[in-house]
Structure 1
C-alpha cells in the first residue's frame, strides 16, 4: 500500500472537537478504507494531547501545535481536512488538494459556514460538522471536486480577515 496522507488543520484557533473527532477509531477506519494510512494533525492553540497511537490501518499519526508555514504539510497531503478559516481553505484549494471543511458550530458568528457553503456550491470542496464527518467520509467522491482557480485568493482572505477584525 502506498503512503497516503491526511493533513488536518485548525489554524491558530482552538477546535478540540475536530481533533477529538478525527482521532476516533470509527473516523480513522473510514479514512483507511479510502486508502489513507498517515495522519498529520495541526492542533492549534490548545492544551489537548491527542492519542497519536498508530491504529485502524494508520502507520503513523503525529501532531503539532503551530508552525509559521503549513506549506510543506499542505503540499505533501493527499487529503486536507480543515476548519473553515478563509486562509486555510484557500491555501488548500490553491494547492489543488481535495478539501473537506469542518465548520465549528461553537462560533458565535458563522461566517465560516457561509464561506464553506459557497465553495461547496461552486464544487470545490465538501463541508460538514464534526457530527456529520463520518457520513461524509463514507459517501464522498473526491473525483467530483472541481479545481479552484484564482490568483486573488490571498487578497480575498486578507480582506475577509480584515472585515472580521482578525488582522
Structure 2
C-alpha cells in the first residue's frame, strides 16, 4: 500500500476531513491532499508527528504492510544522501587541512634563518620545501578526485 493510501485510510478511520486532519498536525489541507494523492511526501519529522498523534508505529504508518512503498524508498534515499553529504564534508576538511599544512611548511621555510655554525656546517631546513609540495599535491588530489566523483555522479543521474 502506498503512503498516500495509508494516510487516507488512517484519516477515514479517525473520521476526519482533510482540513481537520491538517489542523491536528499543523499543516495546510492542500499538503494533506498532496500526500494522499502521492504528489509529494512529508518529511521525516512530520511522519513521526503523524505516528505519535494517531498512536501508530512508524512501521504501520510507513510500510502499511509488508511491501516497500514510495515513503520507504524516500527514507532510504534520504539516508544515502545524508551519508554522502557527511563523506563529502569529511573529504573537503581533509583536503583543506592538507593544503593548509603545505602553506604552513612554506611559511616556516620562508621565515626561518639559515646559518653556518663555527665548524662551517650550513644549517638549513630545506626539507620543508618537498614536504610542503607533497602536502599541497595531496590536498589538490583530494579535491580533484572528489570533483571527478561528483561529475561522474551528475552524468549518471542524467542518463
| TM category, shorter | under 0.3
Higher fraction of strand: 1
Provide the TM-score with structure 1 as the length reference: 0.21
Greater Rg by CA: 2
Q: TM-score, normalised by structure 2?
A: 0.22
